[in-house]
Amino acid sequence: MSESKKRIIGIGEYIVDKNPAILVTLGLGSCVAVCLRDKNNLIGGLVHIMLPESRSNKNDQKIGKYADTGIKAIIDGIVDLGGNVKYLEAKIAGGAAMFKNSNNSLNVGSKNVEAVKKILKENNIKIIAEDTGGNRARSVEFNIANGELKVKKVGGGEKVEITVI
């Protein structure tokens, strides 16, 4: 069995790859990691979303930055590598409220999570695991081989590792 390669995804970026690969993104505050996987063909993708939609930023070339364009990009990428949309499943993490503020309209994290869920539903992609909200930053590792999503939460000097399967 070949060893999995770790692929690092930066803020506002995305990647699609075939098994064996572990997709990693760090520093999810209000951002959301969307992990999609074709469980039959073992092709997956991860996007590190910063904002819910791109409508006011049509000239922005960083399509992974937005939920609407980023999720579409990884769906298209999985299909381009031989994946099938009907076998896609999703796992999501992030969307924390990083700043204490009485004005809930500034909670970008919850808006990101809401946008991600809406777009996945529109594409008939079921969310099978999520770790969203709260007020702590996260980092994730998504294993395309078995679909395992490791979520590491950091905050207040404590570190918790959660494996969502």
Residues belonging to the active site:
31
Cα dihedral: 103, 106, 112, 115 (round 10):
70
10 Å CB burial of residue 49 (0-12, 13-18, 19+) is buried
Q: Which helix (H) or strand (E) holds 142?
A: strand 137-143
- As a whole number of angstroms, the distance between CA 45 and CA 73 comes to 9
